[in-house]
Amino acid sequence: MKKLTNLLAATALTAAAAAPAMAEKWDMPMAYSASNFHSATGAEFAKCVTTGTGGEIEIVTHPSGSLFKGADIKRAIQTGQAPIGERLLSGHQNENALFGFDSIPFLATSFDDSAKLWEAAKPSIEKVLAEQNLTLLYAVPWPPQGLYFKNEVNSVADMKGIKFRSYNNATSRLAELTGMLPVTIEAAEISQAFATGVADSMVSSGSTGYDRKVWESLNYFYEVDAWLPRNYVMVNSDVWSGVSDANKNVIKGCAELAEYAGNWRAKEYTGFTLQGLRDGGMTVGPASEQMTNELKEIGVTMTNEWLEAAGDEGKAIVDAFNASQ
């Protein structure tokens, strides 16, 4: 709380010192529903910036992929169609393997390990983003990823032929290695996809399942804690260079607050959403020993594939993470 109080005070003082300027409106596309904790954190960040800059920069959030679909958000910001936005980092793994550092199965399976992995990867990610005319503001992890199914599953063999919602390279590869059929589905389309049988399973956090009321179509959630992917908020670097130093300080302060609050929410939301899945009628619990062991074997394969694709820089990230343990 002391940290939060100090940040708020610093933000307020900076805002008070800022010179009057022409107001700017920044539309901020976001892929997830307004009720999702990432979107809620983003909305508070936007309000913080609007208030802290005295209205010189007004950020307006657009959740649920209403302004740009999730897969289009990063490109929209790079090309100046929107000045700022939020996206899943690993959603860009097809551009550069480094973006998939947080989706290496069973490497970082807790919030503490996720924070250490992010510390190891952050300089490389900031460098890649800078080369793409993007500036990182903050990043927040999802809760640990588990497996959702319509029917009971006790082994990898039971997964064969199941239609599986994928959202990045890692999830598509997981589907291939388990014999499932990957179907790319944006977060905003999950409920409809399950209701219409387009997909019958996915790997995701309890948060996504809870927000989308997947118990209306699915019956099982297995806590395999595969990885903790991150969402991040980025700003167009050309836009950022035009922001006054005073307002940059405000935005950085608000971003630090958002990252702190988002991390806290992710942790608190984990238990709450899993209980929400139970209350909805789903069976929630750990996977069988056989399925866990088989998934870990697949994880080794995917880790080696990622290290090969990410090269020396990827190896350096994993080595730095392992050294922090």
Asked if 221 and 234 sit in the same domain, the reply is: no
Same domain for 158 and 116: no
Q: What is the mean pLDDT of residues 6-11?
A: 51
Same domain, 167 and 293: yes
The answer to whether residues 188 and 310 belong to one domain is yes
- On whether both 27 and 135 belong to a single domain, the answer is yes
Query: Do 6 and 97 belong to one domain?
Result: yes
Cα–Cα distance between 83 and 316 in angstroms, integer? 32
pLDDT at res. 16: 45
Could you tell me the CATH number of the domain that includes residue 8?
3.40.190.170
Dihedral pair phi/psi, residue 93, rounded to 5°: -60, -25
Domain match, 67 and 166 both: no
Question: Which of 186 and 255 is assigned the larger pLDDT?
Answer: 255
Which pLDDT score, from 0 to 100, does residue 187 have? 86
Q: Are residues 161 and 207 in the same domain?
A: yes
146-159 average pLDDT score? 97
Q: Do 126 and 109 belong together in one domain? A: yes
The edge-to-edge listing of strands for the beta sheet with 163-166 is: 181-184, 163-166, 201-204, 146-149, 220-222, 283-285
Does 111 share its domain with 245?
yes
Q: Verify that 101 and 155 share a domain, yes or no.
A: no
- For 39-96, the pLDDT digits (tens) are 999 999 999 999 999 999 999 999 999 999 999 999 999 999 999 999 999 999 999 9
Outline where the chain has alpha helix (H): 2-17, 37-52, 70-78, 111-131, 169-178, 190-195, 206-211, 237-241, 245-279, 289-323
Mean pLDDT, the chain, rounded, equals 93
Q: What is the mean pLDDT of residues 296-324?
A: 96
Does one domain contain both 62 and 174? no
Q: Can you give the residue range of the structural domain that contains 14?
A: 2-141+230-268
Residue 21 pLDDT grade (very low, low, confident, very high; cuts 50, 70, 90): low
Helix (H, G, I), strand (E, B) or coil at 8: helix
Structural domain count, the chain: 2
